[in-house]
Chains A and B, each alone.
Chain A
Amino acid sequence: MASVALSEAEKVYIVHGVQEDLRVDGRGCEDYRCVEVETDVVSNTSGSARVKLGHTDILVGVKAEMGTPKLEKPNEGYLEFFVDCSANATPEFEGRGGDDLGMEIANTLYRIFNNKGSIDLKSLCISPREHCWILYVDVLLLECGGNLFDAISIAVKAALFNTRIPRVRVLEDEEGSKDIELSDDPYDCIQLSVENVPCIVTLCKIGYRHVVDATLQEEACSLASLLVAVTSKGVVTCMRKVGKGSLDPESIFEMMETGKRVGKVLHTSLQSLLHKEESLGPKRQKVGFLG
């Protein structure tokens, strides 16, 4: 993770501030920075989203391609994740420097989607054992300003909400050979249901308390963090501890409860924003990258 150097006195100041529930930028321990979400920013993808959380900038593109289902799950499609930590984000990612972090984030994404509930993979099946939709989810880190996992999970959910998969029909000949026919209408698509897609809430332990949405400076003061993947109903799909420090089992329990609470609010805000954006229709003014 990108890190900043801080003096001892600065760290002491941050830690004492967190104890008193007043962080450096005036937020409380459970407050998020202002989030900006925009979908449909990349034209040649099936779905895309861009999320800006303070100084963290994430771009996600989803491409739907046809392929063969996996042998152990012949009736389902699947998702493939790839995370690119570009050198734009921070000089540490130059060359192969960002690969480790990219692998870590991709593996976390695989884990949180690795359950029956998150996404309806059966709807991605075209014909069992032969054809299915594979969704390639590509995450690009444009700028690194702390709290990467949360921003990435919000962007992935928004991009999946924006994904439009073309409707196809399987036609069978008398000889038995199958043909896949694409609908004539380019707007005839199926939309995925993202009701149960989880979002990650990162809780960093600073001193005796934990904070949500840590900036780079706060992450430098925290020795241990807990990543909790929560769905909109408050169900925890995955939990992971990162960092060199240790966590007391009681604090893990407290952090998990905070994560569930914060996660539910995160989901309601995101759902309402995505529906609001969709209701503006195709004529809405797109801001994109030059805004």
Chain B
Amino acid sequence: MAMEMRLPVVRKRLGEGLGRETKKHLVVPGDTITTDTGFMRGHGTYMGEEKLIASVAGSVERVNKLICVKALKTRYNGEVGDIVVGRITERRRSAEDELAMRGFLQEGDLISAEVQAVFSDGAVSLHTRSLKYGKLGQGVLVQVSPSLVKRQKTHFHDLPCGASVILGNNGFIWIYPTPEHKEEEAGGFIANLEPVSLADREVISRLRNCIVALVAQRVMLYDTSILYCYEASLPHQIKDILKPEVMEEIVVETRQRLLEQEG
């Protein structure tokens, strides 16, 4: 049995010294971004008294004449085409609903779906238009901030280490064992409740701890970063990954590899 007690340490900021050419322009609500009136206002900004003011806390992004502020930590804002992983909390109670859906989906179930439309009050409507989407079976859910999930072409990844991952744009990350046969995708509505093998479990637990480590150090999540972090964590035991010093070590290594890959 393992029991570790320690005194708390002040968290160090790992961002410095990792070779970024331009420093990000960080603003808080109320900060002036620019007094030049030639720019178009994007998300997170508003015009007041001849100057452009930020309305959220985040970093300023400029594309030609458009200025917007990308918030660092927000509630999820749906966009059409996003993949989300969600949990059913409540359902409509009507006679037809009882007969039809209750056999397939219960309260508390996890599903993966795509955003079909966004309403003006922020609510989104979802659809599961292929067998790729639908009820999720056995696996592990990790909840992170939505701003840490990088927007990519595909959010369903079969990682070479032996597990699969769904990076929901809403911050819900689902890690599950790769289905053996290609016909049984993550979706469908019949969950497979057979025990998962120990080797697969180890991969899934390791991935889960790596994702938690990356989130703690505010690294963007996408398939490459998760994979590099997994490889960097292999020398350590799975349960040791969550120790602060091991976490720092693997994330620093992951960051360096990502920078090398970009440069």
Q: Is the CB of A12 within 8 A of B5?
A: no
Q: Is A6 an interface residue (CB 8 A)?
A: yes
Residues of chain B from 199 to 224 with CB closer than 8 A to chain A in the complex: 201-202, 205-206, 208-209
Q: How far is the CA of A158 from the CA of B191 in the complex (A)?
A: 47
Q: How far is the CA of A189 from the CA of B202 in the complex (A)?
A: 52
Chain B positions 234 through 248: 1 when the CB is less than 8 Å from some CB of chain A, otherwise 0: 000111011110000
Chain A residue total in the interface (Cβ 8 A): 41
User: Can you list 24 A-B contacts with CB-CB less than 8 angstroms, sorted by A residue number?
Assistant: A8-B108, A8-B191, A9-B110, A9-B137, A9-B192, A10-B140, A12-B193, A16-B196, A22-B198, A22-B205, A24-B205, A25-B205, A25-B208, A25-B209, A25-B239, A27-B2, A31-B2, A34-B4, A35-B4, A36-B5, A262-B1, A265-B3, A269-B4, A291-B9
CB-CB < 8 A to A186: which residues of B?
Answer: none
Nearest chain B residue, comparing its CB with the CB of A220? B108
CB-CB < 8 A to A74: which residues of B?
Answer: none
Q: Is the CB of B1 within 8 A of A28?
A: yes
Q: How far is the CA of A20 from the CA of B204 in the complex (A)?
A: 14
Q: Is the CB of A287 within 8 A of B4?
A: no
Q: Is the CB of B7 within 8 A of A27?
A: no
**Chain B's nearest CB lies how many Å from the CB of A29?**
9
Chain B residue total in the interface (Cβ 8 A): 43
Q: Is A38 an interface residue (CB 8 A)?
A: yes
The 4 closest A-B pairs by CB, nearest first: A26-B238, A30-B1, A13-B138, A26-B239
Q: Is the CB of A26 within 8 A of B206?
A: yes
Q: How far is the CA of A12 from the CA of B238 in the complex (A)?
A: 21
**Chain B's nearest CB lies how many Å from the CB of A143?**
14
CB-CB < 8 A to B205: which residues of A?
Answer: 22-26
Q: Is B38 an interface residue (CB 8 A)?
A: no
Residues of chain B from 164 to 201 with CB closer than 8 A to chain A in the complex: 191-193, 195-196, 198, 201
Partner of A5, one of B107, B137, B243: B107
**Chain A's nearest CB lies how many Å from the CB of B195?**
4
CB-CB < 8 A to B108: which residues of A?
Answer: 5-8
A12 with B138, Cβ < 8 A, contacts A32-B3, A265-B1 known: yes
Partner of B4, one of A5, A30, A32, A212: A32
Q: Is A270 an interface residue (CB 8 A)?
A: yes
Given contacts A9-B138, A265-B3, 7 further A-B contacts (CB under 8 A): A8-B193, A10-B141, A22-B198, A34-B243, A37-B7, A262-B1, A287-B9
Q: How far is the CA of A28 from the CA of B198 in the complex (A)?
A: 13
CB-CB < 8 A to B8: which residues of A?
Answer: 36-38, 52, 287, 291
Q: Is B87 an interface residue (CB 8 A)?
A: yes
Q: How far is the CA of A25 from the CA of B244 in the complex (A)?
A: 15
Q: Is B106 an interface residue (CB 8 A)?
A: yes
Q: How far is the CA of A17 from the CA of B205 in the complex (A)?
A: 10
Q: How far is the CA of A192 from the CA of B198 in the complex (A)?
A: 48
CB-CB < 8 A to B192: which residues of A?
Answer: 9
CB-CB < 8 A to A273: which residues of B?
Answer: 5-7
Q: Is A255 an interface residue (CB 8 A)?
A: no
